[in-house]
């Protein structure tokens, strides 16, 4: 993109938020600076925000007033981060059953932004946030988008299943001026749609590919198969689902650039993301307070898996205090060489619902099993594990060219080694793993109720 065109887009971007009286631009500029503050200073800011949220919620939110009272706590009892552990975690069930009392007084539900979470595990939620909170979320996303090499005003190639396209004239015009993106719908990807996408790519030359991990992988497979090599973004952001190491390797080879992995959820938005050094994921601590806890509620040590629990410091309209996301993550005490003060997490181990059970009751991350299997046994392009009951596994596989009966025997043997010799392992060869309605893919599905 020409420098003059890019400068114009940047100018218009700033002007747009000013005219709209949106705080997004200013939030973003502050976030660009605060990321380089020392961690101790960032923690001070984070704790101040946490204290304010706690005081506000106790005074203005019936649901949290009751929680504090039941726990025998007053806001002033929260003297450091560890004291927050005295409050119970907030579950998805708590939110569904207490939706009205979770809206703070002083906020009119009809004037808040409302969205429904995907609910791919049958747990759809209504979430309400204020305009200011929404703008903070967008500002954070923009800061982290730039870590991939992309900059404001540059076009993006969006790779989603069921992408949300600008529909109204106003949104189309806004998109055309501020971010002239191109889209590929990976729910219906064909040689023709990939060729059409690459023709658009030639015209607009996006600097970023952004999408679901597996959707980007599908595009990479098509480009590789068709011998198309003009899709050369500066960076790639993989979001919304686990990025498996073998998919990452393939994507990076096809596009000849690094993938910047990102973790978040619809309820609280961006939680963590890799920077340009790819040393783990920096936590978004100006906006969120993030805990990793074991089954007894204690903070896990760095390197150990723990349930991810989030407090959204900016959503005062419908506070999320100690929200259990139902994902498992691994904290880290490493420092990143990029110089940012934002602490790191090592990785996301998977969604709680994607963990499978061994007969002795121990949990095993389905995603890790898939990764192990695909690197250990040849002839498998893709795989999905469905655990119907404690001793019954359904393995859907997309066979590669080296697949044969011996591979199948190896596969059954591997799963019986992990899950026990009495486990029934049914193998089903399929053409491709289907996406869910949301456009996301699930590779490990546990149907055993916890
Ligand atoms: Zn870094």
- Asked whether residue 119 carries a pLDDT value surpassing 60, the answer given is no
The per-residue pLDDT of the chain, averaged, comes to 90
Q: What does the pLDDT average to over 320-329?
A: 94
- Asked whether residue 227 carries a pLDDT value surpassing 90, the answer given is yes
CATH number of 358-446: 3.30.300.30
Strands (E), 213-296: 235-239, 259-265, 269-273, 281-283, 288-293
Token digits for 258? 């690094």
Banded model confidence at residue 23, pLDDT cuts 50, 70, 90: very high
Distance 446 CA to ligand 1 centre (A): 34
Distance 280 CA to ligand 1 centre (A): 8
Q: Where in the chain is the domain with CATH 3.30.300.30?
A: 358-446
Write the CB contacts of 449 (distance below 8 Å, at least 6 apart in sequence): none
Distance 119 CA to ligand 1 centre (A): 32
Distance 195 CA to ligand 1 centre (A): 36
Q: Between residues 117 and 48, which one has the greater pLDDT? A: 48
- List 153's β-bridge partners, or say none: none
Distance 370 CA to ligand 1 centre (A): 28
CATH number of 3-351: 3.40.50.12780
Distance 340 CA to ligand 1 centre (A): 6
Distance 22 CA to ligand 1 centre (A): 29
Distance 34 CA to ligand 1 centre (A): 14
- Asked whether residue 122 carries a pLDDT value surpassing 60, the answer given is no
Distance 320 CA to ligand 1 centre (A): 27
The CB-side HSE value for 131 (13 A sphere, CA atoms) comes to: 7
Distance 432 CA to ligand 1 centre (A): 36
Distance 359 CA to ligand 1 centre (A): 40
Q: What is the 3-state secondary structure (H, E, C) of 116-127?
A: ECCCCCCCCCEE
pLDDT at 181: 87
Q: Chain-centre distance of CA 217, in angstroms? A: 16
pLDDT digits (tens, 9 = 90+) for 405-423: 999 999 999 999 999 999 9
Distance 266 CA to ligand 1 centre (A): 24
Q: Where in the chain is the domain with CATH 3.40.50.12780?
A: 3-351
pLDDT at 437: 74
Q: How far is CA 315 from CA 127, 146, 297, 321, 450, in A?
A: 10, 24, 24, 10, 30
pLDDT digits (tens, 9 = 90+) for 30-71: 999 999 999 999 999 999 999 999 999 999 999 999 999 999
Helix (H) or strand (E) holding 357: strand 355-357
Distance 284 CA to ligand 1 centre (A): 12
Distance 28 CA to ligand 1 centre (A): 18
Write down the pTM of the prediction. 0.87
pLDDT at 362: 81
Distance 51 CA to ligand 1 centre (A): 28
Banded model confidence at residue 241, pLDDT cuts 50, 70, 90: confident
* Percent above pLDDT 70 for the chain: 95
pLDDT digits (tens, 9 = 90+) for 65-92: 999 999 999 999 999 999 999 999 999 8
pLDDT digits (tens, 9 = 90+) for 134-160: 999 999 999 999 999 999 989 999 997
pLDDT at 137: 96
How many residues are present in the chain? 450
Distance 21 CA to ligand 1 centre (A): 32
At residue 23, φ and ψ (nearest 5 deg) are -80, 0
pLDDT digits (tens, 9 = 90+) for 155-182: 999 997 766 667 777 777 766 666 778 9
Cα–Cα nearest to 434, from 201, 189, 208, 244: 189
pLDDT digits (tens, 9 = 90+) for 205-214: 999 999 988 8
Cβ–Cβ < 8 Å for 367, 350: yes
pLDDT digits (tens, 9 = 90+) for 336-373: 999 999 999 999 888 777 788 888 888 888 888 888 88
pLDDT at 376: 83
């Amino acid at each position: 993109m020409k420098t003059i065109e890019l400068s114009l887009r940047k100018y218009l971007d700033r002007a747009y938020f000013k005219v709209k009286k949106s705080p997004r631009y200013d939030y973003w500029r502050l976030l660009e600076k605060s990321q380089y503050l020392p961690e101790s200073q960032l923690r001070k800011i984070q704790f101040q925000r946490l204290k304010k949220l706690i005081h506000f919620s106790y005074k203005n939110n019936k649901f949290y007033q009751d929680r504090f009272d039941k726990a025998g706590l007053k806001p002033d009892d929260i003297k450091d981060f560890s004291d927050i552990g005295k409050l119970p975690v907030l579950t998805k069930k708590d939110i569904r059953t207490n939706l009205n009392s979770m809206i703070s007084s002083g906020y009119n539900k009809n004037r808040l932004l409302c969205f429904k979470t995907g609910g791919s595990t049958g747990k759809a939620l209504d979430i309400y946030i204020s305009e200011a909170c929404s703008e903070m979320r967008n500002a954070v996303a923009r800061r982290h988008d730039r870590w991939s090499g992309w900059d404001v005003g540059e076009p993006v190639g969006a790779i989603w299943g069921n992408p949300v396209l600008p529909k109204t004239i106003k949104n189309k015009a806004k998109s055309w001026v501020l971010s002239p993106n191109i889209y590929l719908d990976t729910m219906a990807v064909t040689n023709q749609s990939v060729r059409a996408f690459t023709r658009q790519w030639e015209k607009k030359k996006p600097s970023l590919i952004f999408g679901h991990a597996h959707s980007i992988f599908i595009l990479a497979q098509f480009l590789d198969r068709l011998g198309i090599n003009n899709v050369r973004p500066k960076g790639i952001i993989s979001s919304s689902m686990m990025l498996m190491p073998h998919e990452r390797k393939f994507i990076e080879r096809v596009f000849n650039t690094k993938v910047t992995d990102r973790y978040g959820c619809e309820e609280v938005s961006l939680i963590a993301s890799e920077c340009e050094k790819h040393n783990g994921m920096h936590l978004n601590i100006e906006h969120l307070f993030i805990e990793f806890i074991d089954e007894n509620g204690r903070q896990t040590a760095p390197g150990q898996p723990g349930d991810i629990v989030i407090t959204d410091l900016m959503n005062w309209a419908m506070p999320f205090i100690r929200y259990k996301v139902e994902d498992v993550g691994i904290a880290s005490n490493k420092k990143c060489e990029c110089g940012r003060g934002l602490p790191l997490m090592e990785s996301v181990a998977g969604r709680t619902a994607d963990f499978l059970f061994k007969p002795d009751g121990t949990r095993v991350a389905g995603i890790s099993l898939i990764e192990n299997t695909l690197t250990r046994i040849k002839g498998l392009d893709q795989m999905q594990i469905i655990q119907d009951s404690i001793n019954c596994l359904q393995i859907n596989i997309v066979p590669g060219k080296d697949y044969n009966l011996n591979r199948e025997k190896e596969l059954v043997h591997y799963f019986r080694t992990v899950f026990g010799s009495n486990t029934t392992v049914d193998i089903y060869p399929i053409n491709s793993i289907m996406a869910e309605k949301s456009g996301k893919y699930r590779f490990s599905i546990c149907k055993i109720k916890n």
